[in-house]
Structure 1
Amino acid sequence: MTAPIPTKIHYHKKARELELTYDDESHRLPVEYLRVYSPSAEVRGHHPSQAVLQVGKKDVGLKNVEPVGRYAIKLAFDDGHDSGLYSWDYLFELIQNRETYWADYLERLEKAGASREPLGIEIKQL
């Protein structure tokens, strides 16, 4: 089964959430969630054993959302990460599995003794 295609995509900057609207429903995904589950090789690796746990991403935001053909979007995060294409199938998978994936992420952070909190001094470009 192919995932539905959003009819509207809106970034809520203050809430740091990406809203995906479909014909009959709408879903808001936190940018942090999208960042830690980036489909890029930099995050996922080329094999599950190569995946890199993303830490300190609690306050990450988006700089840009760009359509890629008719099948995906490319997200540019304000921490400099901008690789990986979020296909409609992958975005719908993230929506459907949000609670499970998020719980898994928090468990992996805890096991690693890591945190969602950014390290050091945050510097924002204007």
Structure 2
Amino acid sequence: MKRTPTEIKLQQTSRILQVSFEDETFKLPCEYLRVHSPSAEVQGHGPGQEVLQKSKEKVNIVAIEPVGHYAVRLIFDDSHNTGLYSWELLYDLGINASLHWQRYLQRLEAASHLRVSQDSDKYLV
């Protein structure tokens, strides 16, 4: 089933992107979206080439650009702007947020990296 957002709303003060679909609304922290960017810079060019994103706790979205009728480009205040977030990806990041977030936290722990702030956790755990 192809899902298309009915609304995408940036809550810049709380660093949350609210993405609403017909049957679900997700509050996705900017940190979460940034560390799960679909860009090659983050995902690499193949399996096992992912680059762990660290120290993104305070990152924010400064602009949202529509890309056709299938995605948005999120422009972050750390100058990252190369990931296209398809509707399918946004839905997956919303519906599976807890799973994706726990995997990310495990990767940080394995890299001996401590997060400075846990603000995102209240939306994802």
TM-score by length of 1: 0.88
1:95-117 Cα distance to aligned partner (Å, 9 max, x none): 11100110000010011011333
> What RMSD in Å do the two structures reach over aligned CA positions?
1.3
1:35 pairs with 2:34: yes
1:36-67 Cα distance to aligned partner (Å, 9 max, x none): 00000000001121100000000000110010
Q: Which amino acid aligns with 1:79?
A: D
For 1:1-126, list aligned pairs within 5 A: 1-2=1-2, 4-117=3-116
Aligned to 1:121: none
- Looking at structure 2, the residues matched to 58 and 80 of structure 1 have their Cα atoms a distance apart, in angstroms, of 15
**Residue 67 of structure 1 contacts residue 73 of structure 1 at CA under 8 Å; is this kept in 2?**
yes
Q: How many residues align structurally?
A: 117
Aligned to 1:123: none
**Residue 31 of structure 1 contacts residue 61 of structure 1 at CA under 8 Å; is this kept in 2?**
yes
Q: Which amino acid aligns with 1:36?
A: V
TM-score by length of 2: 0.88
Structure 1: unaligned runs, 5 residues or longer: 119-126
1:23-43 Cα distance to aligned partner (Å, 9 max, x none): 343211001000000000000
Percent of aligned pairs with the same residue?
Answer: 49
Structure 2: unaligned runs, 5 residues or longer: 118-125
Q: Which amino acid aligns with 2:50?
A: A
Instruction: Give the SS at the match of 2:48.
Output: helix
Deviation at 1:8, TM superposition (A): 1.1
Q: Which amino acid aligns with 2:30?
A: V
